Structure 1
């Protein structure tokens, strides 16, 4: 049975919040700060979503906030009242005051600044500014950077889609006059717009924007920044991460892009061009996109027949000491190993030994352990000969050590339970090797410590090990 998304919280309006604050001040003689804190606590207890509310001191006077004033300035300039370059600079400066640099995630705008900009019409104003700046590259790049910053908040992403933002990006990407920098910035904005917004994903595919990016990715001289951004868009539209619609078209997008636009072959060509050891970040983006696009047996087989599995293994051998590339390679191979054809090819090419090596190289990384175990589990499923090969390669010790080292990580424990079950289900001769290493106690501990993820698979592993009371 498919897991249901959690029920969405009701959205609190700015008016309701401001009224509660005013009531706290007038009825209970609170200071404004006390009234705000009390209102926040009360609405949180009631289960409201406060993401669209400005809770700071500016809550009652949003129009005079510097961000709102700057948004109005851009709107006025787009209407011919004032200088557009100066208005864009003013908005950039006002947003910078509320921007922080997140480790590994780039610049991000505070929630309240996002709300004020949204209520001030920043998205519509910047889209109009983009149209008026098409012939001025420097100015256009500044507007696209502002759009990317604003798209960190879900409601502005919805507003971007509703205001025909995807169509604007398509025009920029297909315009022969657009520079490489503009196309890279447009792709970066497209990726940001598609995150958790199903409608944006569908429009990016239906408008031909993703097909255009795949075509441009085939250029042998495509800059790495563009490669990373374009792959990010392809990955976004093939990822189901919007909990609001009843269903996602991510799987269908992967099939359409692979069948009609040769997406998996394009990605293989890019993977072969990117120097993974020197450009690990770009390599990770390409590999992550391969994992998403390889959504069914047919696509996996096409990638394999073209040499894609061997290309991924080559990257893994060369870059195993680099944790992020190692994890991305293992993740792509894990997805590909759902195919029975790929399972045997991987086993013959030394993937089992390579997975064990990766876990050993990154013994402190629960993420590497989880994805390596997942790869091995997929490879060995219904493949008793590969299970024997895995036992000879040290996988049993690897499983036990991973369970001991990462006892607090539920996802690692679950994969270890699954691998144990898969290895002994059709190979009873392997049971004593697991039991003498103390796996029974580890499985029972995992069931108790992580009941949601491990109770079912832990019980199944204990049962297939031939143990009594496996449900205890």
Structure 2
């Protein structure tokens, strides 16, 4: 049965909110602050959506706000009345003045606008004006980059992202495609375009569909294959591919994320492009970009066929080398009957930049996540087991035993590898997986996602291998499983009971 999302709340208008505040002041003799608080509480109780209302400026003339004035100035400049560069600078300054100090821009991150600033910019037509400015500035790189940066800032708010897709004349998506093909002639501009596309697609299904249907994502995949494509662009382009293959918009009844993954893999060689990028990125020096590539691989590898294609081209071994696996062991496996890569020396040299990355938590987690997705394929399960991935997953947990997200990802990989594979379960026992499970449950007792994966791994290991039951029982697994069920009933009651049952214990439902 399909999931039914909750009915959307009715949107409250600014006029209705202002009227309620004025009524509170006049009829109940409230101060302005009291009147605003009372109106907010009342409309929340009535079930209204206040996301489009500037609550702390109720009754004021929004058109006189500096952001609204700057938006009008930009619209005028786009119509030939004024200087575009000056209008962009004015809008940038007004937005920056309304940016919470805590958001900052350290490390090149995009500042987060306050809700007030986002609403005023949206009502002032900033999105449409910036799109028009980008069209007029295609051959002026510095000004174009500033306009694209402002677009990215505005796209932090959901309603602005909707406006980006619904813009009049040609949509924002079509503009981005034009810039990629013709207007963005330098790498910095292409990177900025890809970054805007990723921001626009977040939690907006319509934008995802238009990015794919317009050919924008296909163009990005083509440009990712260019030998001189900079790493910043590769990371941003991966972000777009990942966005369109992620179902994160709860408003429509269904998502096309899975269809997009199949389409991009089949018609545009997306998984092979990603493997080529993974081979290029020096993960030790560029961990952020490596994480983005691996996260995108995880999303695109949506079915057995895609997983097999990635594996046959050497993708699984590429991921293992990101985790600094033993080269000699991998080469021995690759020279065997699978024959995935013929030039062993070339293979070893190709992945040399990836060594010593398992100690980097984010890279380790991203790589485990990609392998976890690939391990849904029975063929990949066996290849991973032969290549020593069981030992590598255990090693990752040892390196990051205090990081619940890495532990959860490692347990998820182990569970997928062993599912319906009794021979791999036996190897896992030798690799010390039972110890890993018990220690994870003890260390992360308060983390429901870790506890759930630990319950699943326990059940998978003993369901078809009853001889492994003592490994868990002697280590106190029963008490840990019952504690997980009690502490996290929503996540662990079902899997915890199943694990207790397969351990041969009575009263497993208690």
Figure out how many residues of one structure are paired with residues of the other and give that number: 472
Alignment partner of 1:146 is 2:150: yes
SS at match of 2:111: strand
Which residues of 2 match residues 105-184 of structure 1 at below 5 A?
Answer: 106-163=110-167, 164-175=171-182, 178-184=185-191
> In structure 2, how many angstroms separate the alpha carbons of the residues matched to 1:400 and 1:188?
42
Q: Deviations over 1:242-266 (max 9, x none)?
A: 1111111100000000000000000
Larger deviation, residues 18-27 vs 112-121: 18-27
Q: Displacement of 1:122 after TM fit?
A: 0.5
> In structure 2, how many angstroms separate the alpha carbons of the residues matched to 1:11 and 1:177?
38
> In structure 2, how many angstroms separate the alpha carbons of the residues matched to 1:4 and 1:273?
43
1:71 maps to which residue? 71
> In structure 2, how many angstroms separate the alpha carbons of the residues matched to 1:177 and 1:112?
32
> In structure 2, how many angstroms separate the alpha carbons of the residues matched to 1:204 and 1:249?
12
1:456 maps to which residue? 494
Contact persistence 1:102–1:108 (CA under 8 A): no
Q: Give the counterpart of 1:196 among 188, 192, 203.
A: 203
Q: Displacement of 1:410 after TM fit?
A: 0.8
2:361 maps to which residue? 323
Q: Give the counterpart of 2:249 among 242, 250, 265.
A: 242
Larger deviation, residues 33-42 vs 416-425: 33-42
Alignment partner of 1:225 is 2:232: yes
Larger deviation, residues 296-305 vs 51-60: 51-60
Q: Displacement of 1:200 after TM fit?
A: 0.5
Q: Give the counterpart of 1:439 among 469, 477, 490.
A: 477
Q: Displacement of 1:192 after TM fit?
A: 0.3
2:95 maps to which residue? 95
Which residues of 2 match residues 408-423 of structure 1 at below 5 A?
Answer: 408-423=446-461
Q: Give the counterpart of 1:251 among 258, 274, 282.
A: 258
Contact persistence 1:235–1:292 (CA under 8 A): yes
> In structure 1, how many angstroms separate the alpha carbons of the residues matched to 2:191 and 2:106?
22
Alignment partner of 1:263 is 2:270: yes
Alignment partner of 1:394 is 2:401: no
1:286 maps to which residue? 293
> In structure 2, how many angstroms separate the alpha carbons of the residues matched to 1:153 and 1:59?
23
Contact persistence 1:373–1:416 (CA under 8 A): yes
Larger deviation, residues 327-336 vs 355-364: 355-364
Q: Deviations over 1:180-201 (max 9, x none)?
A: 1111100000000000111110
SS at match of 1:30: coil
Contact persistence 1:77–1:84 (CA under 8 A): yes
Q: Displacement of 1:106 after TM fit?
A: 3.4
Contact persistence 2:152–2:199 (CA under 8 A): yes
1:51 maps to which residue? 51
Contact persistence 1:58–1:65 (CA under 8 A): no
Q: Displacement of 1:6 after TM fit?
A: 4.0
Q: Displacement of 1:177 after TM fit?
A: 5.9
Contact persistence 1:21–1:32 (CA under 8 A): yes
SS at match of 1:170: helix
Q: Displacement of 1:48 after TM fit?
A: 2.5
Contact persistence 1:151–1:157 (CA under 8 A): yes
Unmatched 5+ stretches in structure 2: 325-354
Q: Deviations over 1:169-223 (max 9, x none)?
A: 0000001662211111000000000001111101101111000000000012111
1:403 maps to which residue? 441
Q: Displacement of 1:147 after TM fit?
A: 0.3
SS at match of 1:124: helix
Q: Deviations over 1:382-418 (max 9, x none)?
A: 0011111111111111111111111111111111111
SS at match of 1:56: helix
TM-score by length of 2: 0.90
Q: Deviations over 1:66-98 (max 9, x none)?
A: 101100000011111111111111000000012
Q: Give the counterpart of 1:302 among 296, 309, 323.
A: 309
Contact persistence 2:323–2:364 (CA under 8 A): yes
> In structure 2, how many angstroms separate the alpha carbons of the residues matched to 1:160 and 1:68?
18
Name the CA shift for 1:377/1:254 in 2 (closer, same or farther; >3 Å): same
